[in-house]
Structure 1
C-alpha cells in the first residue's frame, strides 16, 4: 500500500486538538517542521534551519582539517557533526514524505475512535487507553525539556572559559588574537542555534514514532481483551436484546476487521519509520563510541561533563525505539492466545472456522525494522550497546599504539 493512498490531506491545528498524537505534532509544528497552517512561512523556517546546519557542517570540516594529532577533540567533533547530519536527513525525509506522516496520524485516530465504543464501561480497557496516552505525553514532554536543557548547557559552557580563548560550543575554529570578535560571535550563535533546533527536531521525531508505537500496542491490547471476552451469554456482548451465537460471530467479525486495520497501520508505520529508525540507531552506536572515548581520555573537565550529559539522551533514544517496537510485537503475538481464550467451544461452526483464520493470520509477527534489514526489539538495545563498546575498544587500541 502506498504512503499517499488515502486520508493524506495536510493536518490543521484544529484537527490536532482531538488527535491522540496532538502533543507530538504540535511540538514539531512549533519548532518549524510540521506546517499545520499550510503557510509558506514554515518552508522558509525549514530553509533557514537547513542553512544554519550547513554552516555548522562547514565549520566542522574546518575544525576537523585543522586538528592535528588530537584524537579526543577529533572524536568529539565527529559526534557533534553526526547529530547535525542525521537531523538534516530526518527533516529532508519528512518534507519528502509529509503526506505519509499525515496519513499516519489520521489512520491512528480512526483506529482509536473505532475502539473507543468498546472501552466505555470497561475500566481495564479505559485504563489501557488512558495509560498509553499519559505515557506518550510524558515521554514527549520529558525529552523536550531534558534535551533542550542539555543542549543549552553545552552551548553556554564555553562562556566560562577565558575570553581570549574564544572557545566555541561544538566546533573549534582557528581564531587568532587579531580575529574580529563579530566573526566569533556570529560563529558562536550559528552553532548554538543550529544544534538546539536540530536536536529538538531529531528527538521530537523519535518521540512522535514512539507515541505511535505506544498507541498501536495499546489498541492491540484492547483488541486482545475484546477477543478473550467473546463468551456466550456474557453481559459485555448483549447486543440487541441478548447474546446469541450470531451476535458472537458478528462481534468476531468486528474484531477481525479491527485486527486487519491495525496490521495495515503497523505496516504503514514501518514504511515511514524504518529509514529514520535506521539513521537513529546508526548514529546512536557511532555517538556512543565517539563520546565514550573523549570522556575517558580528555584532560579537560568540560569535555567530560559534556559527554556524560549527552550520553543518556543517545541511549534513551535507542531505548525508545526498541521498547516501542517490542511492545507492538508482543501484543501482536498475544492475539492467537486471546482468540483461543474465548468461548469458542459453545460457538457455531462458522465462528470456529473464522477464529482459526484469525489465529493463523496472527502468527505473522508485527515486526518493525530499521531500514528493513535490522529488527527492532528489546534485545536490539543490548546488541547496539555492545556494538558501540566494541568500536570504542578498537579506537582505544588504535590510540594506544
Structure 2
C-alpha cells in the first residue's frame, strides 16, 4: 500500500508534465481536432464547424485555380505565386480530412503518457520529463508565434491590383469599400486558419514524437543504471540473490520498450500519408517561393512577403525532420545501452543476457517516422528535399531567362 501511493503520485506528475492541452484547445476551437475530453459528446456541431472552416479554404482554392486556368503561364510570376497558395490550401484540406479519419488514434496518442507509460514512471524520471517537455513547449509556442507573424506580414502586403493579399477571381466588384473589407476579412480568416492551425497541428505532432523520444531517454537511463548496480552486486553476491531483482527490473525495461514501439507504430500509421503529401507540397512551395524572390521581388515589402512564405514552408518541414532525427538517435542509444549491459553482466544468468540481447536486437532497428514509408524524417531528409526544390527552382529560372 505504501509503495503504490508513491507510484501513483509519480504517474500523476508524469501526466501533468506531458499535458498537451495548450495545443488541443486551439485545435478544438478552430474545429480541426476534437478535444479528447469532449469526444464523448455529439460530434454534429463540431463537424458542421469543421465543414464551415473547410469551405473557406475550398473557396479560396477554387478562386486560385480559376486564376490558373484563366491566365495560364503567360505571366510566370503570377502563375507560380497563385500555384503556391493553391498548393498550401489544398494540402490543408487534405490534412483536415486525414485528421477526421485518424481522430481516435490522435486521442490515444495525446494520452499516451497516462495510458501506456505511467506504470513505468518513477520520481527520478519526473525532473527529466518536466525539463524536456518544457523545452518542447517553448519551442512549439515560438514556432506558432512565428506562423502568426508570417501571416500578419503576408496579409498586409498586397499581391493583386485591388490591394488584396492574394490574387483571386471574384464574382463581384472588389473595388467598393464594403466588398473590399469583406474580401480582406475572408482572406484573413482563411490565411490564419490554414497557416496557424497547420503550425499548431505540426506542434502537436512533434510533441507526440518528442514524448516517445523522452521515453527512450528514460529507458536508456534505466538500462544503464540496472547494468551498473547489478554488476556491482554480482561481484559480492551469489547468482540466486541477484536474479529476482534483476529479472523484475529487466522485465519492466522490456515492457517499457514494447510500449514505446507500439505507440511509435501507431504514430507512424497516423502521420505517414499526411507527411508524404505535406513533404511534396512543401517542396513545391519552397521551389516556387525561391523563384518569386529571385525574379519578382521588387523592394523590401515584396521580398518580405515571399520570404515569410518561404521560411514558413522551411520551418514546417524542419520541425518534423529535427524531432524525427532525435527519435532515431535515442532509439539507437537504447541498443548501445543494452549492448553495454550485456557485456558488463558477465556473472548474471544466461536468461538475463538472452533477454538483453533480444532487446538489443529489436532496438537495432531504430524507431522512426517516415513520409508514407518512402523516406524517414531526419535532418538528412530535410537537406535532400531542399536540394530537390533548389534544382527545380534552377530549371524554372532558366526557363524564364530563355523566354526573356
Flag whether TM exceeds 0.5 (same fold).
Answer: yes
- What is the Cα deviation at residue 57 of structure 1? 1.1
Equivalent-residue separation in structure 1 for 2:179 and 2:242 (angstroms): 80
Alpha carbons of structure 1 residues 229 and 152: separation in structure 2 relative to 1, 3 Å: same
Aligned to 2:396: 395
- What is the Cα deviation at residue 173 of structure 1? 3.8
Query: Does 1:87 find its partner at 2:88?
Result: no
Q: CA RMSD in A?
A: 2.5
- What is the Cα deviation at residue 247 of structure 1? 0.3
Out of 19, 42, 49, which is 2:46 matched to? 42
- Write out aligned runs for 1:197-216 (5 A): 197-216=193-212
Gaps of 5+ in 1: 1-15, 236-242
Equivalent-residue separation in structure 2 for 1:137 and 1:202 (angstroms): 16
Equivalent-residue separation in structure 2 for 1:29 and 1:329 (angstroms): 31
CA contact (8 A) 1:55 1:190 kept: no
- Write out aligned runs for 1:263-342 (5 A): 263-301=261-299, 302-342=301-341
Equivalent-residue separation in structure 2 for 1:209 and 1:336 (angstroms): 25
- Write out aligned runs for 1:2-401 (5 A): 20-36=19-35, 37=38, 38=41, 40-67=44-71, 69-117=74-122, 120=123, 122=124, 125-158=125-158, 165-173=161-169, 180-230=176-226, 231-232=229-230, 244-301=242-299, 302-342=301-341, 343-401=344-402
Equivalent-residue separation in structure 2 for 1:178 and 1:310 (angstroms): 25
Equivalent-residue separation in structure 1 for 2:49 and 2:296 (angstroms): 37
The structure in which a higher percent of residues are helix is 2
- What is the Cα deviation at residue 18 of structure 1? 7.2
How many residues get paired? 371
Equivalent-residue separation in structure 2 for 1:79 and 1:322 (angstroms): 22
CA contact (8 A) 2:155 2:188 kept: yes
- What is the Cα deviation at residue 299 of structure 1? 4.8
Equivalent-residue separation in structure 2 for 1:20 and 1:363 (angstroms): 30
- What is the Cα deviation at residue 30 of structure 1? 2.9
SS in 2 for 1:229: helix
Larger mean CA deviation between 251-260 and 315-324 belongs to: 315-324
Equivalent-residue separation in structure 2 for 1:27 and 1:300 (angstroms): 36
Deviations 1:326-357 (A, max 9, x none): 11111111122211323421322221121122
Equivalent-residue separation in structure 2 for 1:254 and 1:158 (angstroms): 59
Larger mean CA deviation between 384-393 and 325-334 belongs to: 325-334
- Normalised TM-score (structure 2): 0.85
CA contact (8 A) 1:166 1:175 kept: no
- What is the Cα deviation at residue 91 of structure 1? 0.6
CA contact (8 A) 2:334 2:363 kept: yes
- What is the Cα deviation at residue 366 of structure 1? 1.2
Gaps of 5+ in 2: 1-14, 234-240
CA contact (8 A) 2:157 2:302 kept: no
- What is the Cα deviation at residue 47 of structure 1? 1.1
- What is the Cα deviation at residue 298 of structure 1? 1.1
Alpha carbons of structure 1 residues 398 and 89: separation in structure 2 relative to 1, 3 Å: same
Alpha carbons of structure 1 residues 295 and 176: separation in structure 2 relative to 1, 3 Å: farther
Alpha carbons of structure 1 residues 346 and 209: separation in structure 2 relative to 1, 3 Å: same
Alpha carbons of structure 1 residues 176 and 399: separation in structure 2 relative to 1, 3 Å: farther
Deviations 1:271-291 (A, max 9, x none): 001112112211111111110
CA contact (8 A) 2:272 2:369 kept: yes
Equivalent-residue separation in structure 1 for 2:148 and 2:174 (angstroms): 34
SS in 2 for 1:158: coil
CA contact (8 A) 2:297 2:306 kept: no
Deviations 1:199-237 (A, max 9, x none): 1221111111111111111100110110111122769xx
Alpha carbons of structure 1 residues 128 and 19: separation in structure 2 relative to 1, 3 Å: closer
Equivalent-residue separation in structure 1 for 2:353 and 2:297 (angstroms): 70
